Chain A
Amino acid sequence: MALAVGLMTTAVFCGLQAMRAKRLLTAALWLAAVSASVAIALYQLGAPDVAVVELSVGAGLVTILFVFAITIAGDEAMDAPPIMPKWASWLLVLLAVGVVGSAIQATPTSSAAAAEASFTAVFWQERGLDILIQIGLIFAGVLGVLNLLTEEDTPTPSPKDKVP
């Protein structure tokens, strides 16, 4: 119980720091800390499979991708004022949190554990469509990585395009 409180406090704190960070690299590292906190919380919940995936993909692979993209794009600080006013942002966030919180409160819970197949059976047999969707998504991800790696020159207008 105390561990869950600590983990969730850490996750929210690291998330806030990621949002407040001036440097992009710092924000990516705070995001990795959020992932690690969530992964430990998932393990505590009795979901070790998804905790391992979250830790390796969320805190590992995604952080490396962020560092790679920041290296290419540059770690520029942006001091421009936000588009949305602060009061409107807070209002929308509180509204969304209230809606989600009330939906959670209205959801019935069952304390008795239902008879359920193993994770392997559920994942590979009962959720076959999800696997197909994931294959498509991974293909899109590969295309994204290729795009990230492509050194493309800025197109220059050819002489034919010039209007006399």
Chain B
Amino acid sequence: MTQTTVLLLGAVGVLGVGLYGLLRLRNLIQIIVALQILAKAAVLALVVAGKASGHVNLGQSLAVTVIVADTVIAVVGLALAVQVRRRLGTLDVKALATLRG
């Protein structure tokens, strides 16, 4: 088993952990944490795939783009969570069902 295989398996494991959190958690901020873990798996998988295919710099370039997108997702998600907490008094995702446009 090579280093690339181990890191790919690790990326799949981290992906599974993030997906499990996304499905099980109800707290909005914890859901954003789960999304962040999913993005870490994507970053790792991109660089490992770049290394495996002999284009490590292309993988790095794509990974930087994913990191920027991931950070913006966190910022916008946290801003939404704070606004939901202010308006509804809870971070429970089920409380969003009471929102009206």
Contacts and interface: CB of A to CB of B under 8 A. Distances in A.
A101 interface: yes
Contacts of B81: 69, 73
Contacts of A5: 6
Given A73-B81, A93-B16, A34 B37 contact: yes
Task: Indicate the size class of the contact surface on chain B.
Answer: 35 or more
Nearest to B30: A27
Interface of A: 1, 4-5, 7-9, 11-12, 15-16, 18-19, 24, 27-28, 31, 34-35, 38, 41-42, 44-47, 49-50, 53-54, 57-58, 61-62, 65-66, 69-70, 72-74, 76, 78, 80, 82-84, 86, 88-90, 92-94, 96-97, 100-101, 104, 107, 109-110, 112-114, 116-119, 121-123, 126-127, 130, 133-134, 137-138, 140-141, 143-145, 147-148, 152, 154
Contact of A31 (B9, B37, B63, B92): B37
A115 to B, nearest CB: 9
Contact of B52 (A24, A94, A109, A133): A109
Contacts of B15: 96-97, 100
Contact of B10 (A4, A112, A118): A4
Contacts of A9: 10
B3 interface: yes
B30 A19 contact: yes
Which of A34, A138, A152 is most buried by chain B, counting CB atoms within 10 A of its CB?
A34
B43 A144 contact: no
A86 B92 CA distance: 18
B3 A44 contact: yes
Contact of A47 (B8, B29, B56, B71): B56
A24 B83 CA distance: 17
Contact of B92 (A45, A80, A96): A80
What 8 pairs between A and B have smallest CB-CB spacing?
A8-B10, A15-B17, A114-B54, A144-B75, A69-B78, A147-B79, A19-B21, A141-B72
B75 A145 contact: yes
A134 B65 contact: yes
A99 B63 CA distance: 22
A88 B20 CA distance: 10
A77 B8 CA distance: 34
Given A27-B33, A93-B20, A96-B16, A65 B75 contact: yes
